[in-house]
A and B are shown apart, each in its own frame.
Chain A
Amino acid sequence: MTTPSFIDVRNLSIGYTSRAGETVKVLRDVSLTINRGESVGLVGESGSGKSTLALAALGYFKRGLRVLDGQIHFDGIDMLDLGRDDIQKIRGGRLALIPQNSGQSLTPTLRIGQQVAEALRLHSELEADEFDHRVVELLTQVRLPDPAALISRYPHELSGGQQQRVAIAMALAGQPDALLLDEPTTGLDVTTQAHILELLRDLASDRNMAMLYVSHDLGAIARVCDRVVVMYAGEIVLQGSARQVLKSPRHPYAHGLLASIPRLSQQSLPVALDGRPPMPGEMINGCAFADRCGIADSTCTASPPPLVPIDTGEHVRCFHPGKISQLPRASKTAARKKPSASGKPDAALVMDDLSITYAKPDFLASLLTSRKDPPATVEGINITIVKGETLGLVGESGSGKSTILKSIAGLISPKTGSIALEGQSPLTAKVEDRPAVNLRQIQLIFQNPDDSLNPRHTVAQILAQPLRLYFRLSGDDLRQRSIELLEKVRLGSHYLERLPSQLSGGEKQRIAVARAFAAEPEIVLCDEVTSALDVSVQAAVLNLLNELKTQQQTTYIFVSHDLAVVKAISDRIAVLYQGRLCEIGPVDAVYKPPFHPYTDVLLGAVLEPDPEKAPKLSADDVVELSPPAQGCPFQRRCPKKIGTICETDTPPAQQMGGGHVINCHIPADDL
């Protein structure tokens, strides 16, 4: 046996015993090596075993999981053969983990300072009286604002990005030689994510650390990794240099994954990767990817392909890496059909000076204190949506995107202003008071299908709800129509009797889409409908929505925090910050200069799955909890702020032509 690499996982299989008593494999014969100073990205769909592998490198297995076979070495130490005390000395010291969700990974009852100091106590030579000083140093190093004040805070008092930085500081406290990162930026805003990745890059090169970066986000991987490992169904299917894998992937799965990512540089919809990965424990005879692979043939289902090196240097688990070029490439998809801009556009929906607030007058508080009402969550929204168009609504978390949609649907009453359907009188604020036609015309699709489908209803019952309510269908008609709807979202009639728990994430979201379209709506409100999904599934849902739109001339309001997704599907884009409109206009205009300063910041932070593109970071990633009382909403973070006028006066709406409006004090020519 050769001497092990720095991090060396060999022929590792991990599994658990199911309730039926069978051994189910979660990882199958996985080998992975990482050298000092090298950073390796680990990608794959949810459930492919990425986290399991990363935790295994620490000699840690979630409850129920156990090693079936294989070895794990770290710097020559056998991690599976260490006593409890010895392994704890390595964990968090020379080998540190940065977890997926730092908000939940920091102990809620301990102060930030205590938690970082604990790592120092365990893994450094420092004396107790030096801890405070070093903690502040570490917090400064991860670029946290006001570290001295932060040490006495509790985790819940920090924003998601700050929590993530604390987790990084904690890992750095042990002077690690290697970092394991499990989706460290998932769930964070684009700007925050870009900042954290830059920080990690800098740290890795300063300290010459080995890094294993787990993510389903190829954009993030492209930014920080030298080498990429792609996993599918608990196996490694491709590994090679980041450049090779991301530029010309030599495995059909990796190819599909990359093609399904929407890109800023592209005006077309991404290519969907249909189907779903096999469940752990499912019987697989040949290649695990065969039923989703566009170039599969009979050899593929006959026996499992081995992981073999190919001429370009990668290792590929595929019989036909040479045939990849036959697969559809992103650029070959037909561009979306758009409603013709010619002719007089009919307004589908008009929002007139819409303001919404969540603040409720508190009787006791108003008696005892003299605090004024906080500024409204959403304010002064004037948008007219044209029939048949898709309006994209973008902004960071907390920018009031969902609030606006809920208000249109009648679930939240606006404070002031009105919402009106095509040429009609304004809609009543409350959904209970709206006439049935209006209810049918507007349908809402939610972010998380797990939450938006009643877990106790079968698909048939779910679809029956709008059909009964709006069209009084029953019996055979109802069933017939339900099957039609299922076909529309490309699911078979055998799905009718399933419960949501028996569907995959993508299938659930399709059912949610089918339910919305059952109403034959004129306007469909999509609230982050793809953010809970894997990229490959996201592409499928985007394609589906686009297809339905071309068939039915539906109008969409499409909310997302992902600028590339919005760009792929929208005709017009509205950029929101803190519930106020920054910029609105046709896609081409918004994504091209001149930019609103906030749009500029957002676009700069987008990560593309291309190792050559670096993000441009111009504004800090501070999280603001409430909008400023007056002036420009972006005043506190704006890198181009021109003076006190931004703090006192509402920025003017500058017409840039073609319906493109920028709200900023900077004259249009200087933007």
Chain B
Amino acid sequence: MAATTATSMVSGNRVVTVLKDLASRPSGAIGLTLVIFHVALALVSPYIVPFDYKLQNSSLMLTGPDAVHWLGADHLGRDVFSRTLMGGREALLVTGVATPLAVIWGGFIGILFGLVGGRLDEVLMRVVDAFLSLPWILKMLVLIVTFGTGVEVLIPTLAFFYGIPVIRIARAATHDVIARDFVWAAKARGHSRISIIWRELLPNVLDTLMVEGAMRWSWMLLAFSSLSFLGFGVSPPTPDWGLMISDARGFMSFAPWGVIGPVIALSSLIIGINLTADALAKALGIDRAQKAPM
């Protein structure tokens, strides 16, 4: 394999190679397609939906799918298809901003303390442990209940709590890298700490963080929609899959179309992200199970 990859890697930079590798794997291709589809949909859905998402029509209440209302109408007589198309916007916005934030702050702290080590690091790890030992939903709900459910609360809250496990990952990855000789070599040459972090450490930790970020994104989406489902997320009438499923559940026995649209939409997005993350890990060569000779 060395011969073929060697030549292919000389031309073109790493991002392109990784993307190509990603797209050449079935899971990566499917995952990437799903993710891109959802992001594109979130961007254009307000302009293409057939009906106004908040338009209530009492004559349509809980009617089944037909040629006009493809997925029928909900308990308030709103078009489920339109609402489904738009139901991921809020989730993608919040998690799309919060995920990078979480990875950046968690990664930063993790790398820093992994590098500094010693007592300070021990103390930090205990604090991280303490935070991790609390159920996520409790931590979030307390903040949300106090400060409200707006985007401006959800983003920092999610970013904060989802950054904490990243600290651990980044720290472990840092420990792996700083034990290697090229870091010793840089130290012996006398490079500054910043330069060592920036040049030696980051490029090697980044792969791990990227895969971690992709995984966190899907978990954050799960959390976000769970919050909506529990009634602590997006406030009505904004369409949101979690909320829609929660609303439609009560009528499930005679109007199951209310849940099916959002269920498929939400699941396909999360599965898409997961498949992409899996394929990314393999493309970057950091998947343990994948370490075969070829």
Do A and B contact each other directly (Cβ–Cβ < 8 Å)?
yes
Given contacts A64-B292, A469-B189, A498-B10, contact A454 B203 (CB under 8 A): yes
The interface residues of chain B lying within 8 Å CB-to-CB of A431 are 187-188, 190
Which of B134-142, B178-186, B234-242 is the contact stretch?
B178-186
| B188 adjacent to A444 (CB under 8 Å) | yes
Task: Give the residues in chain A near B292, CB-CB below 8 Å.
Answer: 63-64
Q: Give the residue of B4, B9, B180 whose beta carbon is less than 8 angstroms from that of A451.
A: B180
The reply to whether B190 and A456 contact each other, CB–CB distance below 8 Å, is: no
Contact A519 B189 (CB under 8 A): yes
Query: Most chain-A CB neighbours within 10 Å: which of B4, B185, B203?
Result: B185
List A173-216 residues whose CB lies under 8 Å from chain B. Answer: none
Who on chain B is nearest to A280 by CB? Answer: B3
**Do the beta carbons of A453 and B182 come within 8 Å of each other?**
yes
B3 near A502 (CB under 8 angstroms)?
Answer: no
Contacts of A502 in B (CB 8 A): 6, 9-10
Residues of A within 8 A of B182 (CB): 451-454
Please measure, in the bound complex, the distance between the C-alpha atom of A63 and the C-alpha atom of B289, giving whole angstroms. Answer: 14
- A465 with B186, Cβ < 8 A, contacts A19-B1, A498-B10 known: yes
CB contact under 8 A between A446 and B294, given known A281-B3, A282-B3, A411-B188 = no
Considering the complex, which residues of chain A in the window 428-443 have a beta carbon less than 8 Å from any beta carbon of chain B?
A: 431-432, 434, 436, 439-440, 442-443
List B contacts of A446 (CB < 8 A).
Answer: 181, 184-185
Question: Within 8 Å of chain A (Cβ to Cβ): is B249?
Answer: no
Residues of A within 8 Å of B191, CB to CB, are 465, 469
The total number of A-B Cβ pairs within 8 Å is 84
Q: Which residues of chain B come closer than 8 Å to A501, judged between CB atoms?
A: 6, 9
B:236-294 near A, CB below 8 Å: 292-294
Given A64-B292, A448-B181, also A469-B3 (CB < 8 A):
no
Docked Cα-Cα span, A150 to B74, in Å, equals 74
With contact pairs A64-B292, A411-B187, A446-B185 given, residues A454 and B9 touching in the complex (Cβ less than 8 Å): no
A436 to B182: give the CA distance in the assembly, Å: 19
B20 within 8 A of A: no
**Is A499 in contact with B9, judged by CB distance below 8 angstroms?**
yes
A628 CB to nearest chain B CB (Å): 30
CB of B293 within 8 A of CB of A455, answer no
Chain A residue numbers with a CB within 8 Å of B185 are: 444, 446, 452, 515
A411 touches B189 (CB 8 A): no
Pair A281/B4 contact, Cβ less than 8 Å:
yes
Determine whether the beta carbon of B1 is less than 8 Å from that of A466: no
Given A18-B4, A64-B293, A281-B3: A457 in contact with B203 (beta carbons within 8 A)? yes
Name which residue of chain A comes closest to B183, CB basis. A454
B294 with A64: CB separation less than 8 A:
yes
* Closest A residue to B184 using CB positions: A411
Q: Does B208 contact A (CB under 8 A)?
A: no
Considering the complex, which residues of chain A in the window 406-447 have a beta carbon less than 8 Å from any beta carbon of chain B? 406, 409-411, 431-432, 434, 436, 439-440, 442-444, 446-447
- Does B2 count as interface, using CB distance less than 8 angstroms? yes
B10 close to A466 (CB less than 8 A): no
B200 at the interface (CB under 8 A from A): yes
- Shortest distance between the CB of B291 and any CB in chain A (Å): 11
Please, which residues of chain B bring their CB within 8 A of the CB of A439?
Answer: 188-190
Please state if A62 and B294 are interface contacts (CB–CB under 8 Å).
no
Cα(A18)–Cα(B294), bound, Å: 7
Closest chain B residue to A503, Cβ basis: B6
Instruction: Tell yes or no: A20 within 8 A of B by CB.
Output: yes
CA distance A439 to B184 in the complex (A): 13
User: In whole Å, how far is A509's beta carbon from the nearest beta carbon of chain B?
Assistant: 12
Chain A: which residue is nearest B1 at the CB level? A18
| Contact yes or no, B294 A19, CB < 8 A | yes
A434 close to B190 (CB less than 8 A): yes
Once A281-B3, A282-B3, A456-B204 are accepted as A-B contacts, the answer to whether A63 and B187 lie under 8 Å apart by CB is: no
Query: Closest chain B residue to A406 by CB distance?
Result: B184
Minimum CB distance partner of A436 in chain B: B190
Cβ–Cβ < 8 Å partners of B187 in chain A: 411, 431
Q: A64-B292, A456-B204, A469-B191 are contacts. A497–B10 as well, Cβ < 8 Å?
A: yes
**Bound Cα distance A63, B290 (Å):** 13
Q: Which residues in window 1-60 of A have CB below 8 A to B?
A: 16, 18-20
> 18 additional contacts, CB 8 Å, given A501-B6, A519-B189?
A16-B294, A19-B1, A19-B4, A62-B293, A406-B184, A410-B188, A442-B188, A444-B184, A447-B181, A452-B181, A452-B182, A454-B199, A454-B204, A456-B204, A465-B189, A466-B189, A469-B191, A501-B9
Of all A-B residue pairs in the complex, the 5 with the closest CB atoms, nearest first, are: A439-B190, A456-B203, A452-B181, A279-B3, A451-B181
**What are 29 A-B contacts with C-beta separation under 8 Å?**
A16-B294, A18-B1, A19-B1, A19-B294, A20-B4, A64-B294, A279-B3, A281-B3, A410-B188, A411-B188, A431-B187, A431-B188, A439-B188, A439-B189, A440-B190, A442-B188, A446-B184, A448-B181, A451-B181, A451-B182, A452-B180, A452-B181, A452-B184, A457-B199, A469-B191, A502-B6, A502-B9, A515-B185, A519-B189
